[in-house]
Chain A
């Protein structure tokens, strides 16, 4: 974990999914310019933001929870995140009024309350935001909190040259998150080192749970049966 120099705030890293460049540009620029965070934009695929070694954040609009239209997309994404991360958070952002529209009244549907209740029961944290700038504040607060708990992203988030091949290799391990793969890149310079390490060594180095590390080792040792290919 990188220790920040005394007197200065910690320089925290956040990973943002590349889709957020188009739909959350103000979130990203506000994180960088106002809050001084390092935001690495990369192709996360799974979630919109990764705030620490164990916390993923999904940014969603209130309107998406209004009716069953987006139910599958959201539930599939969150189910997947629940498998990859110890903690999952949803930031529920108020929809922006379109130009020419006087503030649309938010009609609270029964469906919306049902979704909120299901999220609560699934142990997913919910935060409410009124705009992109506020979402950036919440992401910063989450990153600070995780830093205090010793879970901050402590490795460089930018990789060059052959390290990118290595990252791609680690990312293809199904149970591993993007930040988990990044951590592995920094601890295990080649797949051989990873394959020959004990689960406890992997867990300690890559800041994974013991179960998560065992799952990786099981995957690497899985005996391949070509009959089972689709």
Chain B
């Protein structure tokens, strides 16, 4: 049974697949996040929010063969949830890592995060949950990597742009912008209009550019 559909995750909780009950991950998550176990999550190991879930690939899965690949592809085809793949990258499974990364990130377009063991996975899940919680509470400003649209003044940049015209330094750039008002109007100025602001040579240089 392919189950990859969404599950309603209560705010700040993690829903774990029943098969993880009693595992090291579950134990380490205790007390840090509110973990609920559910049957029938199918392909998914943990749901972090209504739209983010985790698929866990153990060292044993990697060594066992290609079954985990079929599982990932089935998930990708059946679900529009954001799937994060956590993979155990150990001395033994290291040799498989680059092929897994190519499949997960480049071919399936999912997120891949390596951990050394279940303890590290638990620590990572705690951080992922706190990001999900912040996302749900629309506290976007807290993410240092999200692009903030700061309204920036165009004037200093315009002065720089004008100085990239051959023969135009800071003084002429300022004169030209003051006189013509915009780069667009400067571009469409005739030689005689330009000559009124700068000398003959510069006017010709600007017009040719």
Residues of A within 8 A of B (CB): 71, 75, 78-79, 82-83, 108, 110, 113-114, 116-122, 124-128, 134, 137, 141-142, 145, 162, 165-166, 168-169, 171-174, 190-192, 194-196, 219-226, 228-230
Contact = CB atoms under 8 A, between A and B. Distances in A.
Contact of B188 (A78, A113, A195, A219): A195
Given A119-B145, A127-B105, A229-B155, A191 B182 contact: no
Would you call the interface of chain B mostly helix, strand, loop, or mixed? Answer: helix
B184 A224 contact: no
Interface stretch (B11-19, B21-29, B64-72, B128-136): B128-136
Given A75-B145, A134-B98, A228 B155 contact: yes
A108 B116 contact: yes
Interface string B132-158: 100100000001111111001111111
Interface string B154-184: 1111111101111000000010011001111
Interface residues of B, number: 54
Contacts of A221: 182-184
B102 interface: yes
5 contacts: A114-B130, A174-B157, A219-B154, A222-B154, A225-B155
A191 B131 contact: no
Contacts of A122: 143, 145-146
Contacts of A222: 154, 158, 182-183
A218 to B, nearest CB: 9
Contacts of B30: none
B182 A82 contact: no
A51 to B, nearest CB: 12
Given A119-B145, A126-B112, A172-B160, 10 more contacts: A79-B148, A113-B123, A114-B131, A118-B143, A121-B131, A121-B135, A128-B112, A172-B164, A195-B188, A219-B183
Contacts of A145: 106
Contacts of B111: 120, 125-126
A165 B208 CA distance: 12
Nearest to A125: B105
Contacts of A82: 145-147
A142 B143 contact: no
